[in-house]
Structure formats: C-alpha cells, structure tokens
C-alpha cells in the first residue's frame, strides 16, 4: 500500500505549547513518523490566559494571538515533517485544532482561536480546522472528539477505558463490540498546574513530586467534589470557563492550609473524579490506558492505580502510541476522515443529532 501522510497539531487547555506530528495511515496501520513540540512564549501564554474571560480590546488581542498561534503551528508542522523525513509537499493535510478560549455548548457555541489560512500560507500544507462547530450546530457538546480515534487505535477484544489527562481530563469507554462512549471528567492538569505556578513557579509539578509530599485535606476535597458538574450525566464537557483560578479561590476562602496540602488535594481531585467516572459509567472496563501530559505524572498514575485496582493502569505506550502524541495523532486522523467525507463525531459521546463530517478545509 502507498504511504498516506497526514499531520496533526494540538495545543490544549494546559496552555503549555504546541505538539505536532506526521503520521502514515497508508500501510494498513497507524504509524507516527516524526514528532515536534514548541512551547508558548510567555507573552502568548499570558494573552491566551487573558482571553479565557472578557477584557479590554479582546477582539484585537484575539486576532494577534491567532496569528502568533498560526505561525507557531506552521513551524511545528515543518519541524515534525523534518523529524519524519517527509517533504511538506507530500503531506495530504494537517488537522489543526486551534486553541480553545471559550466553550459554551449550552449556548450553542465554542471558540477555538486559529488562523488556518495563515498556517497554509506559512507551510504550504492544506489545513483542516474548526472541528467542533458542526457537532455543536447539530446540538452536541462539540467535545470530546478524540473518542472516535481512541476506538480506531485502541479498540479490540479487551474492554478498555482510555483517559486523556490534559488541562481537562476526558474518558473514553471502549467495550468490545459495544457502543463507544466518552465525556469530560473534570480538571486534569489545569488546577495542579495553576497552583504550582502560583506558589512554586514553573509550568507544572514534575511527576507530581510536590503533591506527593503533601497531605490531602478532607474538607477541601469535599468542597471541590461538591461541584455540580461531577454529578451531571454524559454527554458533558467543560473547560476553563468553569474550572479556573476564581473557581478554586472561592472554595479556598476561609481555609488556611499549607500550600503543599492544597496541591495534594488538587491532585486527589483529579484522581477521584477520573476514578469515579470509570466506576459510574464503565465499571466493566478491565484495563485503563492513560495519555496526555498527566500520563507523565507518576503520583497521579499511582493514585489512579490504587483507586481503580485490580484494573491495571498503564499509559498508551503499552498499546503502541506514546501518551504525549495521542491528541495530535487524533487530529491527523480526524483530518483524514474529513477529506474522505466520513463523520468524525460520535453522537453517543457528544449528544449531537447524528453523525457529522467535521471541519473546514483550507486547500494548499
């Protein structure tokens, strides 16, 4: 079979940077050929964080940030192509998700900051973008979209649950021969990263070491878990619109806890909300695969292993895909589905009225 090269680009709710890869879908298997990552410059990260809420001159700020993102996306695609040994002209298309700055499916809209035409001009590769809008227009949540790819990559004879721990964590249930389901479970890395940056500096708590040195505060944990989102039945999705610094500070008001104990409690919140979602919605799963940035958090994986025992908790590397590459690979796959005219959403996951071909195509 001939090679079929696609690129995938993802920048998630953790606001840490851009992941890009080039994959070959033409050899009867999914093969990642090259991967690259580019961090956000501090100014861009600051602007993207500011755009999570209304502020002065936000239209101009968003336009400038979109252009900066597009340049970074194009550079990352070129880096990934070089790492793969693939010429840019050989890439059929790049799936470029964009940066979510607002997500309000309850009001019928979601906004991913992007400048796809500029990406095409900068790297000469056709781009598929704006994946979520069609699902939202069909009455869906527009998220999560990766469960369809999880089914293609990880489905099979085993009953697996796949947990993607980005800024927000989402879960995919993959029963053999059954209906694929998925939904957002709540905060993944978002709150632990926020608290670490506020009190220790740096973008994240490496391997969860700081959290592991603290003690979980039962009162704070109960207050965090009392958030009504956790009791919603799927389909459900969330983001920084809900889980943000203001949300956390409101629940910390009047509590005088050591910073390290707050960090330990936030990690426990992520672990408990994921584990409870699995117990409530896919209790028959016999194996859990983790991906996303949170799969590098040893303390989180250890806690999930305890909460979900006797199920083994492994990263997706055990199934052949590096955990840090799954989301970018998913959008390469979704771009391929778009160009083939195949639906990329799963109505059982998003709640849309039916299957829909996702995305807008910007030819090279």
Strand order in the sheet with 360-362: 31-39, 17-24, 5-10, 91-96, 127-129, 360-362
Which pLDDT score, from 0 to 100, does residue 242 have? 95
Q: Same structural domain for residues 127 and 161? A: no
Q: Same structural domain for residues 186 and 272? A: yes
Which pLDDT score, from 0 to 100, does residue 1 have? 58
Q: What is the pLDDT along the chain (364 residues), one digit of tens a residue?
A: 578 999 999 997 777 899 999 999 997 789 999 999 999 999 999 999 899 888 899 999 999 999 999 999 999 999 999 999 999 999 999 999 999 999 999 999 999 999 999 999 999 999 999 999 999 999 999 999 999 999 999 999 999 999 999 999 999 999 998 899 999 999 999 999 999 999 998 778 999 999 999 999 999 999 999 999 999 999 999 998 999 999 999 999 999 999 999 999 999 999 999 999 999 999 999 999 999 999 999 999 999 999 999 999 999 999 999 999 999 999 999 999 999 999 999 999 999 999 999 999 999 9
Which two three-digit tokens encode residue 234?
A: 């799927």
What CATH number does residue 286 fall under?
3.30.420.40
Q: Give the torsion sign (CA, 239, 16, 148, 283).
A: negative
For tokens 């807008």, the residue is 360
Q: Same structural domain for residues 200 and 100? A: no
- pTM for the whole thing? 0.93
Q: Same structural domain for residues 167 and 310? A: yes
Burial of 54 from C-beta contacts in 10 A (0-12 / 13-18 / 19+): exposed
d(CA 84, CA 33): 5
Which pLDDT score, from 0 to 100, does residue 354 have? 97
Query: Which residues make Cβ contacts (< 8 Å) with residue 105, sequence separation at least 6?
Result: 136, 140, 141, 142, 143, 237
DSSP, residue by residue, 295-347? GG-HHHHHHHHHHHTTS-EEEGGGGTS-GGGHHHHHHHHHHHHHHTT-----H
The domain of 24 spans 5-142+325-362
Q: Same structural domain for residues 232 and 314? A: yes
Which two three-digit tokens encode residue 15?
A: 């606001």
Q: Same structural domain for residues 117 and 201? A: no
Q: Same structural domain for residues 39 and 119? A: yes
Q: Same structural domain for residues 21 and 152? A: no
Q: Same structural domain for residues 70 and 169? A: no
278-287 core/surface letters (b: 16 or more CB in 10 A; e: else)? beebbeebeb
Q: Same structural domain for residues 311 and 330? A: no
Q: Give the CA radius of gyration of the chain.
A: 19
Which pLDDT score, from 0 to 100, does residue 13 have? 74
Domains held by the chain: number: 2
Q: In DSSP terms, which residues pair with 34 in a beta bridge?
A: 22
Q: Give the torsion sign (CA, 134, 139, 143, 149).
A: negative
Q: Same structural domain for residues 285 and 336? A: no
Q: Same structural domain for residues 85 and 173? A: no
């Amino acid at each position: 079979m001939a090679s079929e090269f696609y690129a995938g680009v993802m920048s998630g709710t953790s606001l840490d940077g851009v992941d890009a890869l080039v994959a070959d879908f033409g050899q009867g298997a999914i093969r990642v050929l090259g991967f690259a990552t580019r961090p956000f410059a501090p100014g861009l990260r600051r602007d993207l964080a500011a755009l999570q809420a209304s502020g002065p001159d936000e239209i101009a700020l968003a336009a400038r940030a979109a252009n900066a993102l597009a340049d970074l996306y194009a550079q990352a695609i070129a880096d990934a192509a070089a790492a793969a040994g693939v010429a840019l002209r050989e890439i059929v298309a790049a799936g470029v998700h964009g940066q979510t700055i607002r997500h309000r499916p309850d009001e019928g809209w979601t906004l991913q900051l992007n400048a796809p035409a500029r990406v095409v001009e900068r790297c000469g590769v056709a781009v598929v973008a704006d994946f979520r809008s069609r699902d939202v227009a069909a009455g869906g949540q527009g998220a999560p979209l990766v469960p369809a790819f999880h089914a293609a990559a990880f489905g099979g004879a085993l009953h697996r649950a796949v947990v993607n721990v980005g800024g927000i964590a989402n879960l995919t249930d993959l029963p053999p021969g059954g209906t694929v389901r998925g939904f957002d479970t709540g905060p993944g890395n978002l709150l632990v990263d926020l608290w670490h940056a506020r009190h220790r500096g740096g973008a994240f708590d490496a391997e969860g070491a700081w959290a592991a040195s603290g003690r979980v505060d039962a009162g704070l944990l109960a207050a965090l878990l009392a958030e009504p989102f956790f009791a919603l039945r799927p389909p459900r999705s969330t983001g920084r619109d809900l889980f943000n610094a203001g949300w956390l500070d409101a629940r910390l008001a009047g509590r005088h806890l050591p910073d390290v104990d707050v960090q330990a409690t936030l990690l426990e919140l992520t672990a408990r909300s994921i584990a409870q979602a699995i117990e409530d919605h896919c209790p028959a799963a016999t194996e859990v695969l983790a991906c996303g940035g949170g799969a590098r958090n040893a303390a989180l994986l250890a806690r999930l292993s305890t909460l979900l025992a006797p199920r083994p908790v492994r990263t997706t590397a055990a199934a052949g895909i590096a955990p840090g590459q799954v989301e970018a690979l998913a959008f390469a796959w979704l771009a391929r589905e778009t160009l083939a005219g195949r639906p990329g959403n799963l109505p059982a996951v998003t709640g849309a009225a039916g299957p829909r071909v996702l995305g807008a195509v910007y030819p090279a």
